[in-house]
Amino acid sequence: MGAGMPAPALSADEIAELLHAEFPQAFFPGCGHSIERVEHGDVRVRWTFDEGSLRPGGTVSGPTMMELADFAMYVAVFSAIGPQPLAVTTNLTINFLRKPTERDLLADARLMKVGKRLAVGQVALYSEGTEEPVAHVTSTYSIPDKR
Amino acid sequence: MGAGMPAPALSADEIAELLHAEFPQAFFPGCGHSIERVEHGDVRVRWTFDEGSLRPGGTVSGPTMMELADFAMYVAVFSAIGPQPLAVTTNLTINFLRKPTERDLLADARLMKVGKRLAVGQVALYSEGTEEPVAHVTSTYSIPDKR
Amino acid sequence: MGAGMPAPALSADEIAELLHAEFPQAFFPGCGHSIERVEHGDVRVRWTFDEGSLRPGGTVSGPTMMELADFAMYVAVFSAIGPQPLAVTTNLTINFLRKPTERDLLADARLMKVGKRLAVGQVALYSEGTEEPVAHVTSTYSIPDKR
Amino acid sequence: MGAGMPAPALSADEIAELLHAEFPQAFFPGCGHSIERVEHGDVRVRWTFDEGSLRPGGTVSGPTMMELADFAMYVAVFSAIGPQPLAVTTNLTINFLRKPTERDLLADARLMKVGKRLAVGQVALYSEGTEEPVAHVTSTYSIPDKR
């Protein structure tokens, strides 16, 4: 988005605090997910490599990638519209492109539309240190009415 | 498919044994996933309710549903073409339809095409005891060349 | 849906009249699209075979199938919630399964969710006279607020 | 891709000639589709505005956008692997983001994976002169075996 881009509605630290307050059983130090960078509708999150998610042949599992992409989208929605813990995924399409390596995964999410009701974004997932994405996701979040 | 449907390539027990042998860290008694019914390209699998997967408000998480749908597709592919542990998901689209209840989830997968290279199917997910699906998935598996 | 299904909000003739009034340049006698059957959230529409849509090798084109599926969803939305000409497609996923024959195409659309804001459905497309679908679609419509 | 990107397998003119030879009824001067730019797996195509595709309120129809995106992917596949007229779309997901204006549409397709069997890409569609995409597509092509 570049120069004219608005500031994010929440910083990485603010989003992490909010997630920890709302989802203490899912988001906590050591849970494997962390937030690397937050701009307005444009974020990077990380999944820390964990032997337990490996499939035979040393591949990170598909559900691990889907979960990371969904997390990235959630953070991107917060970065654009502020705290909306009741925003929910309505649709997610993932294309698996390459076998991940035994490294952390990085997920770059970017919103393509932020409307009153729906936010639509895409996420590219990378094994750290590689340039070609291991998976690509598009996803839609439904944003609850303001009260 | 009805009367003219071929027998499944593997029974539920055979698929469970194969999964346990190939993915011992992911599929084992008590892992939460089990196989309920296997016909040719048409299967039902179950996810046993677990407090740990709950989101605030008592909702089963989206990644839990994606993982179950992917498992259902994998079992369906085995039911149609026999043991292919190297079959991999290339594409998955999920639509989240309703909030699941605090019950087990059932996933009914049905293959719509079984080609030489690709198998395409759909999965309907239900909270046990309800008639309306909580999510719907379409997914494609890539089938490795025979040698 | 069966016995307990509510009556459709509009009949096939009422939907055809409405489409002709709203989209006279797209929906008219001889346009190639017609409505075969309308139940509540469950409809069948037809595309009449036309040499001009053939691809080399005698295949009906992908865009012809996408357009028919979108039309089927639109009719299904009307059948469930009544006249909503400003309902718009937000998302459509199509899987192409088999080569269509040189026959009419039938599209069976069924809504899986009708919410206040979104309607989600699936569509199976068939070459007339065959049992295996040529394509499968899931799609979401956004329903405008009532005023 | 940048500096290290290989040259395209075919130029824009070569692809246009091939399409005209293979699909004379669909691709010809004045058909509305043209090829603007071709790099390796990275192309831009154009749809010339045509009153007949308008929906009420002056919106270009969804099927027009799906058809253009599919055309862009087809050209991108040729740009990466050379003449493959029998390559077929297996899957396409479109998210409609904004109402197009009454202008030409540009579609930028970029392949994310070119494998032996499958090519996966994404397409962003724009109304000419605007910066925000009107729609976003991901799509998979199946590539026939070489003989």
Going by C-beta distance under 8 Å and a sequence separation of 6 or more, which residues neighbour residue C85? C18, C22, D56
List the single residue in C25, C26, C63 with the smallest CB-CB distance to D66: C63
Position B5 scores a pLDDT of 79
C-alpha to C-alpha distance for C27 and C15, rounded to whole angstroms:
11
Q: CA of C15, closest CA in chain D: separation in Å?
A: 17
Q: Is the pLDDT of residue A133 over 90?
A: yes
> Which residues of chain B does A91 touch, with a Cβ-Cβ cutoff of 8 Å?
93-96
Name the least confident of B20-29, B72-81, B128-137. B20-29
If you count residue pairs, one on B and one on C, with CB atoms under 8 Å apart, how many are there?
A: 37
Measured over the CA atoms of residue B87, residue B89, residue B91 and residue B96, the dihedral's sign is positive
Return the higher-pLDDT residue of A122 and D54. Answer: A122
* pLDDT confidence band for B147 (50 / 70 / 90): very low
Q: B119-133, C54-68, C90-104, C120-134: which has the minimum mean pLDDT? A: C54-68
- Measure C103 CA to nearest chain A CA, in Å: 32
In sequence order, what are the beta bridge partners of A127? A105
Say whether pLDDT at B25 is over 90: no
According to the model, what pLDDT value does residue B55 have? 64
Q: What is the mean pLDDT of residues B78-94?
A: 93
Task: Look at residue C47 in the predicted model and tell me its pLDDT.
Answer: 96
For residue A95, give the nearest of B22, B90, B94 by CB distance.
B90
CA-based nearest distance B3→chain A, Å: 34
Is 90 exceeded by the pLDDT of residue C142?
A: yes
Report chain B's mean pLDDT, rounded to a whole number.
91
CB C102 within 8 A of CB C50: no
Distance from CA of C119 to the nearest CA of A (A): 11
Q: Which residues of A touch B56 (CB under 8 A)?
A: 22-23, 85
In the predicted model, is pLDDT for residue C51 greater than 80?
Answer: no
Please report which confidence band the pLDDT of residue C118 belongs to, taking 50, 70 and 90 as the band edges: very high
pLDDT at D1 > cutoff 50: no
**B51 to chain A: closest CA residue:** A25
Interface contact C93-A90, CB threshold 8 A:
no
pLDDT value of position A142:
96
- pLDDT computed for residue B1 by the predictor: 44
Query: Rounded mean pLDDT of chain C?
Result: 91
Closest chain A residue by Cα to residue D119:
A97
Nearest residue in chain B measured CA to CA from A98: B90
pLDDT value at position C56? 60
Closest Cα of chain B to C125: distance in Å?
12
Residues D35-43: what's their mean pLDDT?
98
Q: Is C63–D62 a contact, with Cβ atoms under 8 angstroms apart?
A: no
Contacts A93 to D, Cβ<8 Å: 93, 138
Q: Where are the beta strands (DSSP E) in chain B?
A: 33-39, 42-47, 54-55, 59-60, 88-96, 105-114, 118-127, 135-142
CA separation for the pair B29, B24 (Å, rounded): 10
Instruction: Give DSSP secondary structure letters for D65-81.
Output: HHHHHHHHHHHHHHHHH
What pLDDT does C141 receive?
97
C125: nearest CA partner in chain B: B112
pLDDT beyond 70 at A3: no
> Are the C-beta atoms of D76 and D110 separated by less than 8 Å?
yes
Of B25, B66, B96, the CB nearest to A88: B96
ipTM: 0.92
pLDDT: is D30 or D14 the higher one?
A: D14
* D contact test, residue of C47, C68, C95 with most D CBs within 10 A: C95
**A6 to chain B nearest CA, in Å?**
30
Buried b (16+ CB within 10 A) or exposed e, B11-23: ebebbbebbeeeb
User: Does the pLDDT of residue B28 top 90, yes or no?
Assistant: no
Quote the pLDDT of residue D4: 67
- C7-33 tens-digit pLDDT: 999 999 999 999 999 888 778 888 899
Task: Answer whether A63 sits within 8 Å of B67, measured CB to CB.
Answer: yes
Is pLDDT of A1 > 50? no
Q: D58 or B119: which carries more pLDDT confidence?
A: B119
Select from A63, A89, A95 the Cβ nearest to the Cβ of B91. A95
- DSSP labels for C59-127? EEPHHHHHHHHHHHHHHHHHHHH---TT-EEEEEEEEE-S---SS-EEEEEEEEEE-SSEEEEEEEEEE
Higher pLDDT, A52 or D109: D109
Please, which residues have CB within 8 angstroms of residue B66's CB and are 6 or more apart in sequence?
A63, A66, A67, A92, B92, B94, B137
